[in-house]
Amino acid sequence: MAAQEVMRQRTRRKEVIDRFAQQESLLEDAKVAFELAEEEEDASLLSEAEELAQKLDQGIDQMELERMFSGEHDRADAIVSINAGAGGTDSQDWAEMLLRMYLRYCELKGWKTEITDILAGEEAGIKNATFTVEGSYAYGMLRAEVGIHRLVRISPFNAAGKRQTSFASVFVIPQIDDSIAVEIDEKDLRIDTYRSSGAGGQHVNKTDSAVRITHLPTGIVIQCQNERSQHKNRHTGMKILRARLYELELSKREEQAAEVHAAKTDIAWGHQIRSYVLHPYRLVKDLRTGLEIGNVDRVLDGEIEPLIQAYLLQVGGEPARS
C-alpha cells in the first residue's frame, strides 16, 4: 500500500511539472507568433498568437485554481451520488439528465468514470445513481456540486404542456486510499445478493451477481450491480462503504456536520444551489455565486467548469458544505 501511495504522489508531482512545461512552451510559442505577426503584418499570425495566448491564460487559471486546493482529500478520486427529489417522473428524468451532464464533464476532463449502481424510474429517468470518478483533483472539483439542483421546463410528461419544477440532489465524497484505517466488523454487515435490474447481457440478468451491503449500526446501504462477478461487486461495494463511513466519522468531528448531509434530506424548493431554466427563458444560475450562463444546452452537455471554478474561487478552496 505504501508503494502505491508513493507512485500516486510521483504521478501527481509529474503532472504539475508537465503542466508548467506546457505553459512555458505555450508562452514561447505565443511570443514568437506575436513577433512574426508584427514583423510581417500578418493577420493570420496575429490570430494564431491570440489563440495561443488564450490557451495560456486558461492553463494558468486552471493551475491557480488547483493551487488553492488545500483540503485533505482534494486530490482524491470521487464517489458521486444523484437522487431524484420532489417532482415525480419529471424529477427522475432530471436526475438522469444530471447523470449525463456529469459523465460528459468527466469525459471532457479526461477522467475515468464507472457507474456502480443505478435504479431506473417507473416511467422514465432514474431514481438514483452512484458512480466513481478517477482523475486529478476529481473530488476537489466535484465537491462544488454538492446540493440540490432545480430544473424549470415545460414537462414532456404532461399532456397539458404545463411548466414543471423538478429537483435532484448531488452528493460527493472522496474515495479514501487503503492507508486510512476504517474498521468494519463483519457482524455489523448484512450482505444480500440479487439479480441485476439494469442492462448488462443475459449473464448479468440470470445470476445473482448484484450485491447490497447494509451497515447495521449506521443504516448505510450500498448497492453495486455493475460487474458480472458477485465478488467484484462486493469488493467495489465495500470500497464505497469504507469511504462513506470515513466521511461520516469526519462529519461527527466538525461543527457543520449537519450541513454535510443536508443535500440528502429535503430535495425540494428552498434548498437549491443552482437553477436550470428552460422555460419561459433559458438560463443557468448558480445561487451561491450569482454566476449566470445563457447557453443551457452547453451546460447540460457537460460544460460546467465555469460554474465550478466560480464557486471554488468564492469559497477560497474550503470544502463545500451545501
pLDDT of residue 42: 79
Q: Average pLDDT of each block of 10 consecutive residues along the chain (322 residues)?
A: 69 78 86 85 83 84 73 87 90 97 97 94 94 93 95 89 92 78 85 74 61 92 88 90 84 52 52 93 96 97 95 69 38
Residue-range definition of the domain harbouring residue 240: 76-322
Dihedral-angle region of residue 25 (phi above 0 means left; psi in -120 to 50 means alpha; beta otherwise): alpha
**235 and 260 inside one domain:** yes
**57 and 136 inside one domain:** no
Distance, in Å, from the CA atom of 271 to the CA atom of 288, rounded to the nearest integer, reads: 11
**E-strand spans in 72-111?**
78-84
Query: What single-letter DSSP state applies at residue 114?
Result: E
**90 and 167 inside one domain:** yes
pLDDT of residue 63: 77
Where a domain ends, among 19, 49, 67?
Answer: 67
CATH number for the domain spanning 102: value is: 3.30.70.1660
Strand, helix or coil at 311? Answer: helix
Total domains in the fold of the chain:
2
**89 and 228 inside one domain:** yes
C-alpha cell of residue 12: 501527481
Torsion of CA 72, 74, 76, 78, to 10 degrees: 120
Indicate the helix (H) or strand (E) that contains 222. strand 220-224
- The 10 Å Cβ neighbour count of residue 15 is 13
Judge if pTM exceeds 0.85: no
pLDDT of residue 257: 36
**80 and 107 inside one domain:** yes
**37 and 86 inside one domain:** no
